[in-house]
């Protein structure tokens, strides 16, 4: 007997896709909470959190490289 289909997609395949997305969304939620905790730790240690955020969001980490090595690259 063939697998029941929903909108042309096998039901088991659809269930698997939905479950994988749900699992990844839960992992993302956990990682987001971890990041918030780390920013709170940085703030309590006296670091400038907006600067840390800017470093983390810079393309390819260029800002961090400049801060660590100086602007000696040509």
pLDDT one-digit tens code per residue, 40-72: 999 999 999 998 888 777 666 676 677 777 655
Tokens 């393309």 belong to residue: 59
What's the mean pLDDT when you consider all of the chain? 83
The pTM score is: 0.61
Kindly tell me if the per-residue pLDDT of 74 is higher than 50. no
Q: How far apart are CA 68 and CA 53, in angstroms?
A: 16
Residue 39 burial (CB count, 10 A): 16
């Amino acid at each position: 007997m063939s697998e029941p289909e929903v909108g042309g997609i096998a039901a088991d395949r659809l269930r698997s896709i939905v479950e994988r997305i749900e699992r990844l969304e839960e992992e993302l939620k956990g990682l987001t909470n971890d990041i918030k905790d780390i920013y709170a730790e940085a703030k309590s240690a006296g670091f400038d959190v907006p600067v840390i955020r800017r470093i983390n969001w810079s393309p390819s980490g260029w800002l961090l490289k400049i801060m660590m090595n100086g602007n000696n690259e040509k």
